[in-house]
Structure 1
Amino acid sequence: MSTSGAARAACCCWPRSLPFRRVVGVEASATLCDIARANIEAVRRARGGHEHLEVVHADATTFDIPADAGLFYFYEPFSTEVCEAVLDNIEASVRQHPRAVVLCFTGRGQPDGTEGEADSPPVAAAAAQQRPQWQERCVVPSPDGVFYDALLFEHAPE
């Protein structure tokens, strides 16, 4: 599993009970990387485990994606334009190392204030919606409101 915007490591710590061999959080901010690493270390001390977690300070558009990464989780990550570059990077990795890949976009990004929450298009997910090789599989409703619904996409071989 790879996640962009690792921020404070919450998205890295929840998969502990899931069958991931490794969880890699990618964060552009060095400060937020330090916070995420400290939070992971605190969870390790308090609960044990979490050896499979890693936080990488990198630009998600150029990050060297692990050849076995199959799930990419994005929580309100970035603009559509940046997401297009991230998807280019993921697609290049899939061409080099063919495998099943799923994208999960949670949250609709930052609304511009002109539309209601339910009417706001998913900002980062729009990049996947515009590409035929990414097929939207489902929307998982959030109990916190439609703004935080999760959109799941699967890569279709070219």
Structure 2
Amino acid sequence: MNWLELVRLIPPAVIAGFAFVQWRTSRTNLRLGIYQRRFQIYESFLMFYQILTAGEVTEESQYKAIHRKFIAAKQEAKYLFGKNNKIYEYLEKVHIKSFHIKGFHDQALHGTLTNEQKAELHKNVLANLQELQHIHEQIEHLLEKYLDFSEIQ
């Protein structure tokens, strides 16, 4: 092989090198985009979880805004974490529990309840909050592999 044949190989090799670098950059950007969307779901979950467990009165408009964001995140999780993912199932459980907890709080604030009814309501809220805490732990565990950026594929 003479030097002229070697010179002819340089442009295709350079083009192949650029193509490889572009492929890796695109792949990294895709991974970063997916990571950011997954992290947004996690943030929406945490905000909603915190508002449910705070035990303080939240302005209705603020609650509704956070709730809507959580619903959108829950639906996105259905598709963003792959088939047969438990994350969506747990987020759906949080959503269901939220109606119980919010309903109990609203009833306690606006209802005319006897002390016995208030005690029963309080007992129900505590049971739902304990279940919510367990669900929170499960979601945290499941999200670990998705939110460790060094492990994202």
Going by fraction, where is helix more abundant, 1 or 2? Answer: 2
Greater RCO between the two (CA within 8 Å, min separation 6)? 2
Q: TM-score, normalised by structure 1?
A: 0.24
